[in-house]
Amino acid sequence: ICVAFLAIRWTSNFDAVYLIFATESLRGAKVLVTGSSKGIGEQMAYHYARFGAKIVITARSKDTLQKVVEKCLSLGAQEAFYIAADMSNESDLDRVVDFALKKLGGLDYLVLNHIGSTRVAMWDGDVEHAKWLMKINFFSYIQMAWKALPSLEKNKGSLVIVSSLAGKMPSPLTAPYVSTKSALNGFFGSLRHELAMKKSNVSISVCTLGLIDTETAMSKVKGKVNMPAYPATEAALNIIITGATRQPELFYPWFTYIWTLTKDWIPSFTDYVVQRSYNYNP
């Protein structure tokens, strides 16, 4: 029964989604992607560009954004703009959404992906850092989502939230990060119910990712974890397909879904494996 259940779940998550995904649906789509100067966000910008979307990208580093925009245009984006902004700065949040609404004439997709920098280390009691990270990784998401909602509603659009397995299953050495991702899962899970109850046009996709081979992640976990990393470009494509097909959730790579089950079904085994995936020698 378990195997059958997992097979059905796996199929519904992946194959069926790929089958119904029509790349044409993204031609001319109006997309805002945050945290898109590097890593998964940059790869998403390139995929959207290849699909012929109109995109706005944002992060703090202007020079990098400019290069990403140039590449997007060369890959086939119908339009591409950038706006430099710091997501820890409250006034930047509305400014970015307003910029995208004005440049693109509305939004079909808001892809919230950025994260603030955090250490991979034992919790050291730095509450100020946890508050700061919450501001960037969580509060900015809910403010931008709220600001974009009327336009998404008008366009039968989608909110895409890039989360992590850490938000479903706490991992050690990243307590503040885990908190921000858990908060995202909780908030947008609740908002999804509310939108459905209001018969809203807007879909919400929450994306659960395992370890992805971005430069930032690889440099942070080097020598600290024993687990495989998956390609950023593939993660990015899976996120885009999940949003375009209005799926409520993505699990990438697929076995992250199994972990979310084993944590409840066989918790002590899961704890054992998780703790042994980290190199820590007191």
CB-wise, 160 or 198, nearer to ligand NDP? Answer: 160
Selected catalytic residue, list 109, 177, 252, 257: 177
Q: Which amino acid is at 124?
A: D
CA 90: distance to chain centroid?
A: 20
d(CA 129, CA 127): 5
CB-wise, 85 or 149, nearer to ligand NDP? Answer: 85
CB-wise, 115 or 152, nearer to ligand NDP? Answer: 115
* Nearest distance, CB of residue 11 and ligand NDP, angstroms: 24
Handedness of CA 225, 227, 233, 238 (dihedral sign): negative
d(CA 277, CA 180): 22
* Nearest distance, CB of residue 38 and ligand NDP, angstroms: 5
CB-wise, 150 or 228, nearer to ligand NDP? Answer: 228
* Nearest distance, CB of residue 225 and ligand NDP, angstroms: 10
Is residue 177 annotated as part of the catalytic site, yes or no?
yes
CB-wise, 212 or 237, nearer to ligand NDP? Answer: 212
Kindly tell me the burial class for residue 240, based on how many C-beta atoms sit within 10 Å of its own C-beta (0-12, 13-18, 19 or more): buried
Neighbours of 274 (CB within 10 A): 17
Handedness of CA 133, 63, 94, 207 (dihedral sign): negative
Q: Are 242 and 17 in contact (CB under 8 A)?
A: yes
The total number of residues written for the chain in this structure: 282
d(CA 27, CA 24): 5
* Nearest distance, CB of residue 124 and ligand NDP, angstroms: 21
Q: How far is CA 277 from CA 80, 151, 272, in A?
A: 41, 43, 9
d(CA 132, CA 68): 27
* Nearest distance, CB of residue 260 and ligand NDP, angstroms: 14
Interface residues toward ligand NDP, by CB under 6 A: 35-41, 59-61, 64, 85-88, 113-116, 136, 162, 164, 209, 211-212, 214, 216-217
Catalytically active residues are: 177
